Amino acid sequence: MFDKPVRGHPEEPPARSGRRPGGEDERIALRCHRRELQLLDTFVASGEFRSRSELMRHALLEFLRSRAAEAVAPPASALPEGLVEVPVRLRTEEVEMFRAHAKLVGNDRPLGDLLAELVRHGEVALKVSELVARHRGLTQDAAQARASMNSLKRSADDLERRGVVGR
């Protein structure tokens, strides 16, 4: 399959330098089109990454993490009886809206569990965005009420300190 042995392959003897295969000094080559390299260089130039190598190591690590997460996902047999895992494609703004709903209304439940409940109870028809807006408003109102109460307490403490009002 390969015209050269793969470094670190079980059939290949250890490197002549005395280092064992698999160390941090292993390298891979990657062929890219000029446009792809230019895009990589924009990330490096922006300071997001120090080098192309760092960017590619980061991308590879993210790829491996996502694959590992897929592999760790519970098999269908691990789900409670009668439940089926269904992938759903949502827009970024929709995901953010549902995450806000999960935080404000759903007591920080996992997003998948919250979506399942919303679908089961038909709350999607109630326009979750309106529910989120309402609960955000309630949260802001509660914060303002707390601030007002603290202000009143400080005023009462100030009046008591001046001797205008006694306890």
Together in a domain, 60 and 120: no
Evaluate whether residue 12 is within a structural domain.
no
Residues in contact with 41: Cβ distance below 8 Å, sequence separation at least 6, in sequence order: 52
Q: Please check the confidence at residue 89 and state whether its pLDDT lies above 70.
A: yes
State how far the alpha carbon of 8 is from the alpha carbons of 20, 30, 68, 114, in Å.
8, 18, 23, 46
Which of 20, 46, 73 terminates a domain? The answer is 73
Evaluate whether residue 25 is within a structural domain.
no
- Give the per-residue pLDDT at 161: 83
- Give the per-residue pLDDT at 35: 92
| Average pLDDT of every residue of the chain | 77
Together in a domain, 53 and 115: no
Evaluate whether residue 22 is within a structural domain.
no
Which of 11, 44, 73 terminates a domain? The answer is 73
pTM of the model: 0.33
- Give the per-residue pLDDT at 38: 92
Query: Domain range spanning residue 63?
Result: 34-73
Mean pLDDT of the 67-82 span: 65
